[in-house]
Amino acid sequence: MPTTQKTDVLILGSGAAGLTLALRLAAADISVTVVSKGKLTDGSTFYAQGGISAVLDETDSIESHVADTLDAGAGLCREDVVRYTVERGPACIEWLVKMGVPFTRTEDDSGFHLTREGGHSHRRVIHAADATGHAVQTTLESLARAHPLVHVLEYHIAVDLITAEKLGQTPQRCHGAYVLDIRRGVVTAVSAPAVVVATGGANMAYLYSSNPFGASGDGIAMAWRAGCRVANMEFMQFHPTCLYHPQSRSFLVSEAVRGEGGKLLLPDGTPFMAQFDDRAELAPRDIVARAIDHEMKRLGVDHVLLDISHKPAEFIEEHFPTILRQCLALGYDMRTEPLPVVPAAHYTCGGIMTDLSGHTDIHGLYAIGEAACTGLHGANRMASNSLLECLVFASAAAEDIAANIDFGNRPTLPDWDESKVTDSDEEVVVSHNWQEVRRFMWDYVGIVRTDKRLARAQHRIDMLKAEIDEYYGNFRISSDLLELRNLVQIAELIVQSAMSRKESRGLHYNLDYPGTLPHTADTVLKPPGRST
């Protein structure tokens, strides 16, 4: 096997953002290599239930979608980015329809069925029943596998980016990445004039998450180590309603259940959301998650209830077949009884700073999807704007790469050097530290924070980083070690961001600073040694 591979564009990540980019570039006769940590369907997109927000109805408007997004973002969205994204939404949906995504249609087949979710003032969420991500992912996957210009590397994980600085060259740009074949244990240098981080979010930094285990913030951590700024990492969105069950801690109960009339209840059946917001169950996610967290702590209970059993059984079967099937397998019938639910880490609103084309601080390195911080989400992402962002910015990055990247720029890359490392004889160190990071992040840097809790978290991060760095330097790498290394870096970025924000805004709530400041500003972190 060659120690170096070459491709026009290296895409790290295989969700909606990565595969959309791959297909659009391939359509422009540009060869791409897509790196996936597991199967192509193992990422977060595959599990997305609700849908994609876009202005598709004549009673809706671009202005309304923009206004709703700005309101949910708690004053921190960039209005130009919001407008850019919303205006391009309908065309992206048209592209998905053209690709063959089977969106749910109305009963009379006159158009697509649209649902409403928290924070939206109109029905504008197009969906494929309650398994939209599955429909999008599998459609794009089949097209990518069939395209001769799309090369797929499953069960591979990026180790680190290869930059000009690491090669002792100037000016600074990205030339590729080291990639580990997880099953064979072989590291290959992949050379590419353009590298795109589409690795998703970092929500596995928390003990309870709605995300698959691969969401360890790899791309954000790699970009930070390479010299990119990151922004707004304190804004970690907790989805209000994940099923509370020991065998299914990551199963999300879609926002659309509340959008279609589901009610949140205390264990004794008392509704409570109207006490916290006039929009009740349709308030933005940060408000709903904090309300649930407040009631659970006040009453000392381990969950609340989500009830849609007042709707006809046929309605539930038609609108939520996947959720119903999963719940029935676990012993709950949402047609006749409420579901026990708890909040769980769900979405990373911050990430690698980019512009409207996905450019990062390093030439030749792009970031799209949940790994990027575009300014769309501000301090709180509105429901179903995430897949929209993936589609819009993958399209924008594809246009920019096709127009501006010189595909002849391919320096020789050094082989991966593991001549001074040995096989580990204590893998328990990795598994133990993995659990420790996720536990203290849940306890100290969760839905409600304090300065004291944040300081405790930082103290543990300092100790763990030293231990993990020593382990990384002495032993052959594995996917678990790489994820742990990235996870503790992500934890530090979240804590540093949270400690620097002296207010409560959106998803960041600090009991020591419960008020919201009159001015707004992003939290921007610069890597050590970076002056601008």
The rounded distance, in Å, linking the Cα atoms of 450 and 444 is: 8
Contact 303, 244 (CB under 8 A): yes
CA–CA dist 69, 224 (Å, integer): 28
What CA–CA distance (Å, rounded) separates 146 from 275? 53
What is the distance between the alpha carbons of residues 494 and 481, in angstroms, rounded to a whole number? 20
> What sign does the dihedral 153-348-391-321 (CA atoms) show?
positive
d(CA 350, CA 217): 11
Neighbours of 373 (CB within 10 A): 25
Which residue reads 């897949």 in tokens?
A: 387
Q: Where are the alpha helices (DSSP H) in 353-478?
A: 385-404, 428-444, 451-474
Q: Report the alpha-carbon distance of residue 189 to residue 201 in Å, rounded.
A: 24
CB 136 within 8 A of CB 41: no
> What residue type is assigned to position 492 of the chain?
E
Sheet holding 524-525, edge to edge: 372-373, 351-353, 230-231, 524-525
Q: Taking the CB of residue 38, how many other CB atoms lie within 10 A of it?
A: 17
Within 10 angstroms of residue 289's Cβ, the number of other Cβ atoms is: 26
Task: Tell me the C-alpha distance between 73 and 285, whole Å.
Answer: 11
Q: Which residues pair with 422 in a beta bridge?
A: 475
Distance of CA 73 to the CA centre of its chain: 16
To the query of whether residue 225 is one of the catalytic residues in this protein, the response is no
- 3-state secondary structure at position 2: coil
- What SS3 class is residue 107? coil
Rounded Cα–Cα distance for residues 506 and 523 (Å): 13
Catalytic one among 124, 285, 449, 485?
A: 285
Q: For residue 79, what are its two tokens?
A: 């209005």
Q: Which residues are catalytic?
A: 285
